[in-house]
Structure 1
Amino acid sequence: MKTILGIDPGFAATGYGVITHDGRTVKYVTHGVIRTDSNEAPGKRLLAIFDTISDVIEKHRPDEAGVETLYFARNASSALPVAQARGVVLLALAKSGITAAEYPPQAIKQAIVGQGRADKAQVQNLIRMLLGLGEIPSPDHAADALGAAICHANTGPFHERIGHEKPGHPKIGRSKVGGST
């Protein structure tokens, strides 16, 4: 049984979700969100994300991680802070020796719903059903992180079998310790 950590990086709010996967079914472990104070210096905010993700890693000991990639169709001004948050997340994973696979939002939707243009409510409801939860996980960032973990559980083994361990696959890039996508 593998433990998988899903992460939805964000500067103001970084979502995380932990599931287990036995090769056939996924089971819910926990989820949450790391909120940073906009009145704090950027370095302190990034440190809070790093420290909290490191604590989650230490507590749950994930074998692998699925990280949602950046997507900025309309709000490019927030790209840099989110990229910085993504960087500290990848650093925490690498420091812990955890291989991270990165998935664009469309690939996550495809893995959960079966189509990449599904709306957020449909994706969140299926996450709830797949994990046997009574309610849709909230906030949205945590639900997105659980989606990244489920996507990794469903697609990660396939890509390992066909040899997509390095960046370059059109939908999925893989980061190894010391590497990046």
Structure 2
Amino acid sequence: MARILLVTGGARSGKSTYAEARTLELGTPAHYIATAQAWDDEMEARIAAHQARRGPEWVTHAEPLDLVKVLRETDTAPRLVDCLTLWLTNLMLGEKDWETAAKALVATLPDLASPVVFVTNEVGLGIVPDNRLARDFRDAAGYLNQWVAAAADEVILTVAGLPMKVK
């Protein structure tokens, strides 16, 4: 089984920077699988900031929906998937069956030869959202994170820029 690492934490917790460093420790060049979509100027700026801090040791793949396909296509070097919660957002807003997609992703992990580092947001520590879509998203993210964490060899929680080993 490939080495699977899940890095989770809240917004601006340092999870992406930590995950990038851990991925590069596994070898270069590394594949950066970006799930974000630039729906507005603010998101475009966030994507640009992530791209600006990556160097030539990264090969970037923009894939908002089909993670299984891109993980299979890039199974020649370490991969970083940033991030699962944006992927989940894309699936849910696109009215895709997120649960089937998530279970297919987890089922694929044991077949991969090269390491994968996943970034995800911990969204279940706050208040109960006031609308159904937000509650559905929070619940789906919780299940997705549990499933990937169960399949992962290691789970790291980042808080205030500090990594804490959970598994």
Shorter-chain TM-score range? 0.3 to 0.5
TM-score (norm 1): 0.36
Structure number with higher relative contact order (C-alpha < 8 Å, ≥ 6 residues apart): 2
